[in-house]
Structure 1
Amino acid sequence: MQKEEFTSFDEGDKVEVSAYDKQEGSASLHDDADLSTAAHGEAGLQRNLQARHLTMISLGGTIGTGLFLASGSSIAIAGPGFSQIAYCLIGTMIYAMMSSLGEMATYLPITGSINAYGTRFFDPALGFTLGWVYWFSWSVTLATELVASSLIISYWISIERCPGWVWAVVFITVLTSLNLTSVKAYGETEYWLSLIKVLAVVVFIIVGFLYIGGAVGHVPEGSPKPGSQIFDMAPFNGGFSALFSIFLNAGFSFQGAELVGIAAGETKNPRKNVPRAIRQVFWRILGFYVLTILIIGMTIPYNDPELANPQGDVLSSPFTRVFVQAGISIGGDIMNAVILVAVLSAGNSGLYASSRALHTLSKEGNAPKFLGYVNRYGVPVYCVLATSLVGCLAFIVSLPQIGQGQAYNWLLALASTTGFIAWIGIAFCHLRFRMAYKAQGRSLKDLPFVSRLYPFGPVYVLVVCLVILFGQGYTAFSPFSVKAFLSAYVTLPFIVILYVGNKLWAKTKILRLVDVDLDTGRSFLDTTMPVGNDIGTEEPKGKVHMFRRAVASIF
């Protein structure tokens, strides 16, 4: 690849810019915040997200309806023991996936990294497929969260008084407005919304343990006592078929952890902040989910009629149930409000992630060119609007023939399946990245962040995700159920069609390892700035600084 010298206007440093970066419509994102301008003076995405934003964005994407609603349904279906196994298994797989993504995202911190890595490390057809799958996954997740928000509002205002689609319109308008301002405004909003959710989960864990220990609440006479009596009622309910059936719920609950990689292209000093966010996020998420599932499984019997959530009714949220049983009468209203915040926060993250994936597709020529437009605030406006239109699938809640609960369950299944496929793409791209890195004679010592789990980590992710994708619908065959079969496998044929179709149409070829581009998009600061420096980031002073340090130490 031809290179030429480029002179920095600020410092006079000479750096090398690949010819790829000079092509029309392409731009490398660098560590110094505002060098991400496209060709011909067009505005580009900007590095305005800080480490605290990055951590909370990933937390915000994962703490949503999957934790507050679907967790109770999982225990009702498979019991607390199988639920603990499912969430722990998915949690360890997420750690391996995040480790793989962290190695690539710190070396090549580019926006829309999942599909960009597929294009760069294997085959442009793979990048095309992963990009559209990931965009669809988060667009459907946005719709899922909007459906859930209308259900939550019905806790206070019945559907008869105000149809669910009205609230869907209100919330999609709010979320779209937030994403159209600037990435910094989005990051700041997501930081505070996620902080509320995290605090609520911490309070729930504390109250749950106090209730189990008998410090609060009252157990009716004749009822099982919280703790081992409730947990041992049926810890492995339904057998292995039930275990497989809740893997999608568990996967949906963790979906969003990969947002760290997606946001790397708009993060200040990604070499420092991305690895730190990855290390922090996993342990927080795994701790929250493991403790939460444990508390629910030890406080609410698996056969409690209000624990299962087949109709998506937020009144049966296990969080609300635990607070009420603990004697906190106002807990239902408080937790319902928190769940609403959680849903909107997850929808906010979904809109951000899907719009960036669509923007990358446009820049690669795999989506209409106008979608690549970025305004002077660094916002891909048309991508945000296009994703919002897909999110309007939430209007389906207004159709009485379908119903809120059924619409939510179908959207959740679609979002979960496509999420697993995105994780498969990340693991496969990491394998190809390392193989190309070795084939080109490069040293691991030059990597800003090295995955200690390689090669076991990405292989583990591939095995777990593939087993779940192909095994979670096996109950549809005995006896055969068309509805169950479609719900489990309808997404998979479209993945094959996307890849094969683009490969035949664009006549793409699988890249040789020695031809993989490992340089375009890397920051020129890799060789001039130590990893520890946070460029352009000024630490807040005084009380604000102390507050943020306290939050960081806890979460």
Structure 2
Amino acid sequence: MSKTEYGVEQMESYSGQPDYSGKHETSEITSEELRNDNELSTGQGEGLQRNLQARHLTMISLGGTIGTGLFLASGASIGTAGPGYSLVAYGLIGTMVYCFMSSLGEMTTYLPITGSINAYGTRFVDPAFGFMLGWVYWFSWSITLAAELVAAGLIISYWIPEEQCPAWVWAVVFIVVLTSLNLTTVKAYGETEYWLSLIKVLAVAIFIIVGFLYIGGAVGAGFIEEDGSVAPKPGSAVFNMGPFHGGFAGLASIFLNAGFSFQGAELVGIAAGETKNPRKNVPRAIRQVFWRILLFYILTITIIGLCIPYNDPTLSDGTIASSPFTRVFVRAGIKVGGDIMNAVILVAILSAGNSGLYASSRALHTLSKEGSAPKFFGYVNRWGVPVWCVLATSLVGCLAFIVSLPQIGKGQVYEWLLSLSSTTGFIAWVGIAINHIRFRMAYKAQGRNIQDLPFISHLYPFGPIYTILICAVILLGQGYTAFSPFSVKAFLSAYITLPFVVLLYFGNKFWCKTKILKLVDVDLDTGRSFIDTSMHVSDTGSETEKKNTKWWKKIIHIFA
């Protein structure tokens, strides 16, 4: 493939919209052009469609981050390093998430295109950089989809033993359901994700309320443990048993876990190209997602640290019965806590799989539009769904699930695939930061005024630099346990992703003879709609509608 095929001359609209750059020398626009713009802006016509609302966008991002990392791994983090270090780790990672989401917000508001992470890499940095980001991101979520299928079978076995129904049967059911959802309109996908994520958010909110009641002594006083002993009274005494346990090694290990728990927040950028009025809804969704995620994680860890001692052996078991959520519910007198949390985690798995299939299919679609994947992946049906991208991602997820079965090499191939995909989320975050730096540099080099941006990241340049540094520490430090004593298997498991990424970038760069784009040649206009950038598009949540909204809907809106 030639260099010009990757160049800005070959670029087409990523969101199904025509190129308006230089099209209108004056402000005179015909009614026919305006009508066409409105059709494209609302998702009518060919290509991906803008049918996601602000609430959908918020929940898509929430759905990718609130999952087993919060419901199960949070307890393991406290058991490893204590509640104090856990708050430090999750707080630092949370600030980093805010930095890269602010960067993403500035770019997606200015240029709302689908598959933005790899599309921006191609347009702002180097076509080979976008190629690498796109395939890494697609691979990551495809393997994550397989992991969700494995987890779904385990969750169902909590109620129906595998002797009665094998776990693979439930995996087949779930992949059929998820694929069907993603083959419908993007609006149907967004609505499904909204309600799935809302269930998780409400579960966390209920946990926070129950936790405060338990800490205050309103419920669960004098709870008796299984060994017959009285549970310690929740509060500062429990928290201070070992707030900073394990020293630097403990902090480093949960620092990595905290980073993995936040992965998925970038989904708001992937969906920007299919969102109504992205100029208004993308910044709103980014602000809401960050504060809600940080609030939920910080409050959750604080409550667990006040209720369950760090040395409770069940915190690190990783099972439903030992989930810190389950244990707090049970101690508060809610004996069906295990069933409740099992159901919530099942919803979390469906939500994460739903979001993962959506994100990876859009990344593959963008790669096709850029000429970095077969052309047939660029096909979009009349409902705006990249059908072949969805089916291909589902197929890869199924193949990865098959190699996870104990009958096939005892699942060892799957373990390597999972290790290969585990760090790709951090690579995507680094890509966002690098894209933002290049975007700002090109914007300035082309003589444009920063104040003209519809949304300005006031953290620049600190935000993207901070993101790169934190992600570098995580990527390079994740395998520190492999060195004492040195373990080849642990070393490869931790670092095999890095040479894979380097091979993708330099392999494509050598094969296609790409070059890092000159700042003055960076395309900052293709794909920007006149409606999105020059006119105000009415939002569905007008002030009049907000005043007439019923009280129970207002309560839900606090969380969603």
For the Cα contact (< 8 Å) 2:105–2:282, is it kept in 1?
yes
In the TM superposition, 1:58-207 aligns within 5 A as: 58-207=61-210
Does residue 263 of structure 2 align to residue 249 of structure 1? no
Identify the residue that residue 47 of structure 2 maps to in structure 1.
Answer: 44
Distance 1:190 1:8, change over 3 A: farther
CA distance in 1, matches of 2:74, 2:495: 23
Structure 2 match to 1:317: 323
Q: Does structure 1 residue 235 correspond to structure 2 residue 243?
A: yes
Q: Write the letter of the residue equivalent to 1:169.
A: V
Residue 490 of structure 1 and its aligned partner are, at CA, apart by 1.1
Structure 2: 5+ residue runs without aligned partners?
1-8, 10-20
Give the letter for the 1:323 counterpart.
F
Once the 2 structures are TM-superposed, how far is the Cα of residue 461 of structure 1 from its aligned partner?
Answer: 0.3
Task: Tell me: CA distance 1:320–1:415, structure 2 relative to 1, closer, same or farther (3 Å).
Answer: farther
Instruction: Give the conservation status (yes or no) of the 8 Å contact 2:279–2:533.
Output: no
Q: 2 CA distance for matches of 1:383 and 1:173? A: 15
Which stretch of structure 1 is more off in the superposition, 536-545 or 453-462?
A: 536-545
Alignment partners' CA distance in 1, 2:138 and 2:151: 20
Number of equivalent positions? 534
- Out of 444, 447, 470, the residue aligned to residue 441 of structure 1 is 447
Match of 1:394 among 401, 405, 408: 401
Q: Which amino acid aligns with 2:515?
A: K
- Counterpart-to-counterpart distance in 2, 1:414 and 1:290: 29
CA distance in 2, matches of 1:289, 1:506: 44
Q: Indicate yes or no: 2:381 matched with 1:375.
A: yes
1:315 is paired with a residue whose SS is coil
Answer whether contact 1:355 1:380 (CA < 8 A) is retained: yes
Match of 2:307 among 299, 313, 328: 299
Match of 2:223 in 1: 219
| TM-superposed deviation, 1:73 | 1.9
Residue type of the alignment partner of 2:137: Y
RMSD of Structure 2 on Structure 1 (CA): 2.8
CA distance in 1, matches of 2:508, 2:38: 27
Distance in 2, matches of 1:325 and 1:87, equals: 25
Cα displacement string for residues 419-470 of structure 1 (whole angstroms, at most 9, x for unaligned residues)? 0000000001000000000000100121000001001000000000001110
Q: Which residue of 1 aligns with 2:343?
A: 337
Change (3 A) 1:278 1:290: same
CA distance in 2, matches of 1:498, 1:398: 29
Q: Aligned AA for 1:460?
A: Y
- Matches of 1:230 and 1:402 in 2, distance apart? 45
Given that 2:278 and 2:532 are in contact with CA atoms closer than 8 Å, whether structure 1 keeps it comes out as no
What amino acid is aligned across from residue 284 of structure 1 in structure 2? R
Code of the aligned partner of 2:381 = N
Q: CA separation in 2, counterparts of 1:485 and 1:496?
A: 17
What is the alpha-carbon distance in structure 1 between the residues aligned to residue 327 and residue 410 of structure 2? 24
Deviations 1:76-117 (A, max 9, x none): 222222221111111110000100000000000000000000
Query: Equivalents in 1 of 2:407, 2:240: separation in Å?
Result: 40
Q: Are 2:42 and 1:33 equivalent residues in the alignment? A: yes
TM-aligned CA deviation for residue 410 of structure 1:
6.5
Distance 1:253 1:101 in 2: 19
Q: Structure 2: which amino acid aligns with 1:62?
A: T
* Secondary structure in structure 1 of the residue aligned to 2:423: helix
Deviation for aligned residue 1:547: 4.6
Corresponding residue for 2:14? none
Alignment of 1:254-265 (within 5 A): 254-265=262-273
Does structure 1 conserve the Cα–Cα contact (< 8 Å) formed by 2:315 and 2:323? Answer: yes
CA distance in 1, matches of 2:41, 2:540: 6
CA drift at 1:166:
1.6
Identity %: 72
Query: Scaled by the length of structure 1, what TM-score is found?
Result: 0.90
The alpha-carbon distance between structure 1 residues 528 and 457, as it changes in their structure 2 partners (threshold 3 A), is closer
TM-score (norm 2): 0.89
Q: Distance in 2 between matches of 1:251 and 1:107?
A: 28
Selected match of 2:333 from 327, 331, 335? 327
2:466 to 460, 464, 467: 460
Q: For residue 550 of structure 1, report the CA deviation from its aligned partner.
A: 3.5
Which residue matches 2:4?
none
Distance 1:485 1:146, change over 3 A: same
SS in 2 for 1:306: helix
1:409 positional shift: 7.6
Shift of 1:5: 5.4
Deviation at 1:59, TM superposition (A): 0.8
Asked if 1:519 is matched to 2:514, the reply is no
Query: Does the aligned pair in 2 maintain the 1:29–1:523 contact within 8 Å?
Result: no
* Contact 1:58/1:259 (8 A) holds in 2: yes
Contact 1:252/1:412 (8 A) holds in 2: no
What residue in structure 1 maps to residue 503 of structure 2? 497
Aligned to 2:31: 11
Whether the 8 Å contact between 1:61 and 1:256 is mirrored in structure 2 is: yes
Following the alignment from structure 2 to structure 1, what is the Cα–Cα distance between the partners of residues 65 and 135?
21
CA 379–539 in structure 1, closer or farther in 2 if over 3 Å, else same: farther
What SS does structure 1 have at the residue aligned with 2:100? helix
